Amino acid sequence: MRGDVSVGPSVVISVNGLTPANATGTTPAFGGAPGPGGYAGGDGAFLLVNLATDGGAGIGPGGGLGGVTATSTAPGGGTFFGVPELRPLRGGAGGGGGYSNTSSTVCAAGGGGGGGGAILIAANGTISITWRIEADGPQGSQSSAPFNACGRAGAGGSGGAIRLLANSISGAGTLEAVGGAVGCCTGGNAGALGSIRMESFSNSFGTNVNPPGQRVPSPGPIVNPVNPTVAITSIAGAATPADPIGYLGAIDIIVPAPGPVQIDERTTDVPSGTDVEIAVKPKLDGAPVVQRLTLQSGDCVSGTCTTGLSIDLEPGSYIVEARATFEAP
The single-letter code of the amino acid at 254 is I
Q: What is the pLDDT of residues 202-241, one digit of tens each?
A: 999 999 999 998 999 999 999 888 788 999 999 999 999 9
Q: What is the pLDDT of residues 10-50, one digit of tens each?
A: 999 999 998 889 999 998 899 999 999 999 999 999 999 99
Question: How far is the C-alpha of 111 from the C-alpha of 96, rounded, in Å?
Answer: 7
Provide CB contacts within 8 A for 250, sequence distance 6+.
none
Q: Are 160 and 92 in contact (CB under 8 A)?
A: yes
pTM listed for this prediction: 0.93
pLDDT at 227: 82
pLDDT at 226: 78
pLDDT at 111: 95
Q: Are 87 and 26 in contact (CB under 8 A)?
A: no
pLDDT at 20: 87
| E-only strand ranges, 93-199 | 118-122, 126-129, 132-134, 161-165, 168-170, 174-176, 195-199
End-to-end CA distance of the chain, in Å?
30
Give pLDDT < 50 ranges for the chain: none
